[in-house]
Amino acid sequence: MLELKNISKEYNKRVILDHVNMTVEDGEIMCIVGESGAGKTTLLRCISGLERIDGGQILIDGKEFDPYSNQNNDSVIGVVFQEYQLFPHLKVLENITLAPIMVLKKKEAEARQEAMQLLEGLSLADKAKLYPYQLSGGQKQRVAIARAMAMKPRILCYDEPTSALDPGLRDTVKNIILDLKKSGMTQIVVTHDMDFAKQIADSILKVKPSRG
């Protein structure tokens, strides 16, 4: 269980997040919705440790947790960025195995085998040897998901997973997220698309632009 208590965040004295509270149960899908500029990405960045929070508390399983300084590989918060941020110089498979090999110190063969399983699950097995520039947007996104999953994250976060995709691919993402839920994955999805949120969410958090 992930709990946010009174999370505050400012940029240059401008309040972006003002005492945000949220509870994400294990295995559920939490959607964070709100108009553009409301602070959804900022909240995601605080949860994933890319920004330091200015106030409040983050707890995992009731224990205080600072994602910004956390080094423990048992509580990785995975992120699928809006622009995916794949490593352009590495093949699909290497994108996925890099962190397990470098960080989790996995053997290369083992990391590859696990990566191939993830790719198969996402119907990308035939793309393992391609470079990111050779993939479509939807394929890049799935590689980004596989790359994050390879670190066995406690929670997987997505920033606007539907924004860069053709409308037809929305259902594909939806099904991937729902499949991951079946496998027990806890997921946080930031989106400005209320319909999409309603289709997948167990809980919805609405963030409003702070007046600060």
Residues making contact with Mg ion (CB under 5 A): 41
Pick one of 12, 62, 88, 168: the residue that binds other proteins (CB under 8 A): 88
Residues 93 and 129: beta-carbon distance below 8 Å: yes
- b/e string for 173-206 if b means 16 or more Cβ within 10 A? bbebbeebbeeebbbbbbbbbeebbeebbeebbe
Interface with other proteins includes 87 (CB under 8 A)? yes
Question: What residue 147 binds from Mg ion, other proteins, ligand ADP, none (CB within 5 to 8 A, per partner kind)?
Answer: other proteins
Minimum CB distance to Mg ion, residue 101 (Å): 31
Residue 103: name the closest of 42, 158, 150, 44 by CA.
Answer: 150
Helix (H) or strand (E) holding 109: helix 108-121
Using CB under 6 A as the criterion, what x/- string covers residues 30-69 for binding ligand ADP?
----x-xxxxxxx---------------------------
- From candidates 36, 62, 133, 167, binder to other proteins by CB under 8 A: 133
- The gap between the terminal CA atoms of the chain, to the nearest Å, is 30
- Interface size with other proteins, residues (CB under 8 A): 26
Residues that bind ligand ADP (CB under 6 A): 11-12, 16, 34, 36-42
